[in-house]
Amino acid sequence: MSETAPQGPVYNRVALIGLGLIASSMFWAMKRAGLADEVTGFARSAETRETARRIGLCDRVCDSAAEAVAGADLVVLCVPVGVMGAVAEEIAPALQPGATVSDVGSVKRHVIDAVTPHIPEGVHFVPSHPLAGTEHSGPESGFASLFENRWNLLVPVEGTDPEAVARLRRLWEGMGANVDEMDADHHDLVLAVTSHAPHLIAYTMVGVADDLRRVTDSEVIKYSAAGFRDFTRIAASDPTMWRDVFLSNKEATLEILGRFTEELFALQRAIRTGDGDHLHAYFTRTRAIRRGIIEAGQDTAAPDFGRGPKA
Amino acid sequence: MSETAPQGPVYNRVALIGLGLIASSMFWAMKRAGLADEVTGFARSAETRETARRIGLCDRVCDSAAEAVAGADLVVLCVPVGVMGAVAEEIAPALQPGATVSDVGSVKRHVIDAVTPHIPEGVHFVPSHPLAGTEHSGPESGFASLFENRWNLLVPVEGTDPEAVARLRRLWEGMGANVDEMDADHHDLVLAVTSHAPHLIAYTMVGVADDLRRVTDSEVIKYSAAGFRDFTRIAASDPTMWRDVFLSNKEATLEILGRFTEELFALQRAIRTGDGDHLHAYFTRTRAIRRGIIEAGQDTAAPDFGRGPKA
């Protein structure tokens, strides 16, 4: 967490468009730290808006995006990457001069290209991407501590007002996140490695297990503790969000997957030819990365993530 | 845990050959439940034997495998799959008539073929495989609760004395495990799906990230929370153990990897051609498997495995 936690609200009114895991966590985190005087919210689905009202998610749940953004000095687009452009177009006429628009999409070049043309003169657009999440989705899945000690990447576009960027940074630091700035294309490549390719691979492996006629689903489920279990958590993530991620970060994802299959073929060949030295050397190298992640505070060293036997 | 926990010791003397994660966890689990009067241990490395003596691992640490197995009514081979045959040959002359030899190897057909020829007349061989582990290894990594609510698969060979199998089952149930019996070839296929292929895939992805020149290791490490982190835990597992697993379960592993790459290519093609429906349908299907695993008690439903933000 930032050493200089902000005193008092950073924004007067924040509008959250889309009320899933990230938006609901932002609401609880902003409220906990008193970062916004009022938070409005809008979701396309009437059922989601109903749920939000029932659980007290947002100070005011609105029945249109335009109503939610009216008078807001920060608008955060928390919708799947594939509809960011359409939502930006819809809210554009209702945006208040001087307001900042941001987003939380997992892909940045595509979102910038889709949203920027709709941003009115005098409104700031500061794309961002919090690297935090769980396998759960929807308005009831959020919690105030989701962003603590996690990274949020700000990806300012050319000509963005530095004060608008600094203010958004204060909001995220107030929610407990560490903040970095990064160029959009580099962001998309880094995320293809650390997130997009791993997700596609996990989805694939879980799908293969489900397909295999000679091994039953109940066997896969019973005996999952042997490694497969961790893949299923990743492969339980929101299908719409991930469809959009792959389609909108196509090039970087396909590049990393190409490298992955090349490397996988080399290891398959080592298995087939019995080249134990190649395998051993490869597996030894990958151990070091794990140590780095634990030292960087991005995971726990407790065995099995500290899962209790009775969990 | 079994409803009929055994009263008193199941074996008089148990010998553990190899003192890594599984053997050390067995020792603590057997002691906690009073399942053996005496547990002896042997490890090839003098340093490991020293560590074991220092931390009180085993009632008696022996300087030879023959000394450890002398007088034991259960001998458990807890060494990498690749050396099971050599260790069985070494201890064979010291085995007591009526004793049971078991193992904890992750591959069963290869171990059966390697060990069976060395088992003397009048000694029972009951292969087994506890589906439990962590990314840590060595004599200090074990803990008494490792096997609780985890499966142990017994893979009896033709003609094995049913009483020897039943007794070994009681031991594992006493350590908290659920016990199933399975044929060796089916075991090796099931584990190729739930464990061996996922491990190779995780190793590969972590290796690719490490290799990529345009993304630094420190970026991979900092931003790992976005999915990659779970792969690194798997890819931190013991290199020697895993080299042996792949080399000794070659056919089943290569078959599953073949299916995996086929499926991965289909998804890559869907990304390239923009076939969002294919991706969405695939990702929706894999979510159901995760639910099954949580309902079967093989994982926690807590988001992110219940990892706290400050862990």
d(CA B37, CA B9): 6
Contact B290, A235 (CB under 8 A): yes
The distance of B48 to chain A (nearest Cα, Å) reads: 20
Q: B148 in a domain, yes or no?
A: yes
Q: B301 in a domain, yes or no?
A: no
d(CA A221, CA A229): 8
Contact B293 A212 (CB under 8 A): no
State the CB neighbour count (10 A cutoff) for residue B219: 19
Clarify whether residues B47 and B168 are in a common domain: yes
Clarify whether residues A64 and A145 are in a common domain: yes
d(CA B20, CA B150): 18
**pLDDT, tens digit, for every residue of A2-26?**
445 556 899 999 999 999 999 999 9
**Could you tell me the CATH number of the domain that includes residue B54?**
3.40.50.720
Tokens for A227? 């490694």
Contact B42, B65 (CB under 8 A): yes
Tokens for B108? 């069963």
Closest by alpha carbon to B275, among A55, A266, A250? A250
Q: Which of the 8 DSSP states describes residue B193?
A: I
Nearest-CB residue to B298 (from A148, A211, A221): A221
Task: Indicate the residue among A166, A182, A198 that finishes a domain.
Answer: A182
Helix (H) or strand (E) holding A103: strand A100-103
What mean pLDDT do residues A288-299 have?
81
Q: What is the pLDDT of residue A310?
A: 39
Clarify whether residues A25 and A86 are in a common domain: yes
Clarify whether residues B178 and B98 are in a common domain: yes
Clarify whether residues B30 and B168 are in a common domain: yes
Q: A79 in a domain, yes or no?
A: yes
Q: A152 in a domain, yes or no?
A: yes
Contact A232 B259 (CB under 8 A): no
Q: B223 in a domain, yes or no?
A: yes
**In this predicted model, which residue has the larger pLDDT, A199 or A225?**
A199
Helix (H) or strand (E) holding B207: helix B197-211
Amino acid at A273: T
Contact A264, B261 (CB under 8 A): yes
The distance of A191 to chain B (nearest Cα, Å) reads: 8
Q: What is the pLDDT of residue A7?
A: 63
Contact B282 A208 (CB under 8 A): no
Q: What angle do CA B266, B242, A230 make, to 5 degrees?
A: 55
Q: Is A215 on the interface with B (CB under 8 A)?
A: yes
Q: What is the pLDDT of residue A308?
A: 54
d(CA A70, CA A65): 9
Contact B109, B188 (CB under 8 A): yes
Task: Indicate the residue among B182, B199, B233 that finishes a domain.
Answer: B182
Q: What is the pLDDT of residue B5?
A: 52
**pLDDT, tens digit, for every residue of A209-260?**
988 878 888 888 888 877 788 888 888 889 999 999 999 999 999 999 999 9
C-alpha pair distances (Å), A230 with each of A162, B90, B264: 41, 38, 18
d(CA B96, CA B69): 8
Q: What is the pLDDT of residue B235?
A: 87
**pLDDT, tens digit, for every residue of A48-72?**
999 999 999 999 999 999 999 999 9
Q: B293 in a domain, yes or no?
A: no
What mean pLDDT do residues A129-133 have?
93
Q: What is the chain A residue with the closest CA to B205? A: A260
Q: Is A208 on the interface with B (CB under 8 A)?
A: yes
Task: Indicate the residue among A182, A197, A215 that finishes a domain.
Answer: A182
Q: A294 in a domain, yes or no?
A: no
Contact B66, B91 (CB under 8 A): yes
Q: A27 in a domain, yes or no?
A: yes
Clarify whether residues B212 and B250 are in a common domain: yes
Q: Is A247 on the interface with B (CB under 8 A)?
A: yes
Clarify whether residues B118 and B196 are in a common domain: no
What mean pLDDT do residues A202-213 have?
90
Contact A251, A189 (CB under 8 A): no
Burial zone of B38 (CB within 10 Å; 0-12 exposed, 13-18 middle, 19+ buried): middle
Clarify whether residues B35 and B57 are in a common domain: yes
Contact B307 A300 (CB under 8 A): yes
**In this predicted model, which residue has the larger pLDDT, A310 or A150?**
A150
Q: What is chain A's Cα-based Rg?
A: 21
Clarify whether residues B130 and B231 are in a common domain: no
Q: Is B250 on the interface with A (CB under 8 A)?
A: yes
Q: What is the pLDDT of residue A22?
A: 97
Per the structure, the count of domains in chain A is: 2
What mean pLDDT do residues A179-208 have?
94
Clarify whether residues B214 and B172 are in a common domain: no
Query: Residues 273..302 of A with a Cβ closer than 8 Å to B: which?
Result: 274, 276, 279-280, 282-287, 289-293, 296, 298-300, 302
What mean pLDDT do residues A128-157 have?
94
Query: Residues 170..199 of B with a Cβ closer than 8 Å to A: which?
Result: 176, 180, 186, 189-191, 193-199
State the CB neighbour count (10 A cutoff) for residue B299: 20
State the CB neighbour count (10 A cutoff) for residue A265: 13
Confidence check: pLDDT of A88 > 80: yes
Query: Residues 151..170 of A with a Cβ closer than 8 Å to B: which?
Result: 151, 153
**pLDDT, tens digit, for every residue of B248-288?**
999 999 999 999 999 999 999 999 999 999 999 999 988 88
Q: Is B267 on the interface with A (CB under 8 A)?
A: yes
In this prediction, the residues of chain B whose per-residue pLDDT falls under 50 are: 1-3, 309-311
Amino acid at A159: G
Q: Is B251 on the interface with A (CB under 8 A)?
A: no
Contact B289, A232 (CB under 8 A): yes
Residues of A in contact with B224 (CB under 8 A): 194, 293, 296, 298-299
Clarify whether residues B163 and B59 are in a common domain: yes
Q: Is A55 on the interface with B (CB under 8 A)?
A: no
Q: What is the pLDDT of residue A1?
A: 44
Domain that holds residue B206: 186-274
Clarify whether residues B166 and B236 are in a common domain: no
**Could you tell me the CATH number of the domain that includes residue B257?**
1.10.3660.10
**In this predicted model, which residue has the larger pLDDT, A116 or B215?**
A116
Q: What is the pLDDT of residue A3?
A: 47
